[in-house]
Chains A and B, each alone.
Chain A
Amino acid sequence: MRFTYLLPLLPLCWAASKDALNTLVDLAAASNGLINLDGNTFDLLTSPKRNWSVSIQFTAMDQRRRCAPCKEFNPSWVEVAKAWTKAPKEHRDQHFFATLDFDNSQATFQKLGLQSAPVVFVYPAAEGPRQLPSGRTTPSKYDFSHGFEAGPLAEHLSNHTPIPIPYKPPFDYAGWTLTAVGGLAFLLTLRFISPILQSRWTWAAGSIVTMLVMVSGFMFTRIRGSPFTGGDGSWIAAGYQNQYGQEVQVIAMIYGILAATIVILIVQTPKQASPNRQRMQIYAFTAANLLVYSILVTIFRVKNRGYPFKLLF
């Protein structure tokens, strides 16, 4: 029964889908390739009869929502969407970029069960030649583990667009200018700074600081993106294989102080002419060495709970 009613409507559906496509193309063209959605246009864009694919950013840009990652990610999204407008027209109209703000359609967020933002969904084409071979029509989610940058985003989304997104990273004028100016300044002042550059102690300071920072886990914090301190204000991360940014500083400093006491005992104290003053120095620096070492061991005991040894405390 029902089918009979629907049958005459079918051509209308096709027409509607054609219309929808045109509407969408217009919408996209009007706003730099990025459609700003509300509930209705969202349904239109993701209609089950779509023969286009679409990638949608769900975000919450309003001040009240306090979504810092949204603000961080949005420029990349706009950038990639803009890059897509440079694609040839026949391909461009088969994939759309859109943004749905939480405040424009809270219902959609609820419907999709989204609890957080930003989220990027890529809806494959549900009909037509660009339908996936697996027949999947449900959206796939972009994995933010690559970060918020536009480059990886464009690269990943290119798997879903008819042709790869013609995204080129913007030319870094500031960076290049800075490098050029810095290089020029270096060359110009080379005559004045060359004594500094030729001094072995400049290099010594550079090397030793580099070493200290490296052995204090700097690369760990860089690669893992550890925060400077914990959320609760603590500066020591719990766990043996984890650390915060501040630990790098503290540990490098401790190593530095300990090394300095040794170096002073070796180099400086023997030069001291007064026996009394020398004795004072020796006692002081040895005590400092023992004390700071004890502190280091104590901090290590915090990191490694099972460590059985301790020094002074």
Chain B
Amino acid sequence: MQAVSAKIIERAKELMREGTVTKVAGWKAGEFFYDAEPNIFETPESLDGLVYNRFCASNLSKYMIKNSAFESAGKVLVILKPCDTYSFNQLLTEHRIDREKVYIIGAGCEGMCDIDRVRALGFKGITGIDEKGDGKTLVVYTLYGDGEVDIDDVLVNKCEFCKGKAHKIYDELISENEDEGPRGDRFEGVRALEAMSPEERFAFWQGELSKCIRCNACRNACPACSCRKCVFDNAASGVASKANTDSFEEKMFHIIRAFHVAGRCTDCGECTRVCPQGIPLHLFNRKYIKDIDEFYGTYTAGEEAGQRGPLITFTQEDREPNSVSDKGGN
């Protein structure tokens, strides 16, 4: 991926020097090697700080709302991975981004890695991670010696269930990967829960959701959660961000958060990735996606710009809400 990174920097510099774009949205190295963070580069020289590696999982599409529509005069260059382009399309559909003000470089992606999963394999004092040439193995350097891990074992959740390697929207592509279609069965976790009894499901969510500290990271990272005024910021609503007075508030927060993006969620997996408490939030979003697919026909948000979402349309023959109770389980 280092070669790709160099290509991106070179091309971005070129575009900036010739005046096509005035800013570049990419990632810069963070405090540690594994926390590459989104950054807006404003000069060609600063682009030397751009990185594109196995830890650039964050989705940059949301940054385009602010950077393209309201503030900047010129075009902004943004680097999007295949899965990020779905979110970008969805934001275009919702008229949150001015397409004319964005120049998209599609970057190939071979899956992003999760440092916590590397640590979970028993590595302590990690000082660096390198890729072996075969694209399947990572070399982990630690204070206590080096080791190797299989990349498939340390992928972030969203990459474990990769949607495919094809970019849905772009101005130019830098490096492409062969599109092998979706990876794994992303609804497997949802099915496992559905098969449980209501009591078991309740216990599962009780355990997971009591970890929630209401930091709102899931909302802030979500490209679909882009309302200018969020219901959870309305102090008068009684559900504004605050310590929970009773536990149902967490459930309410998470159900509503997922409901507000139902039919618009591209399953980019940012919510789960950014959760500091490790709550599997994607299980909420995927439940809605699975239900929508089953009840109203398969729908992929962000497949193309301008689609009509399943919750803003209807047919006269839609199933009745009570029919949900006729489903299996229990």
Chain A complexes with chain B? no
Q: Which residues of B contact A (CB under 8 A)?
A: none
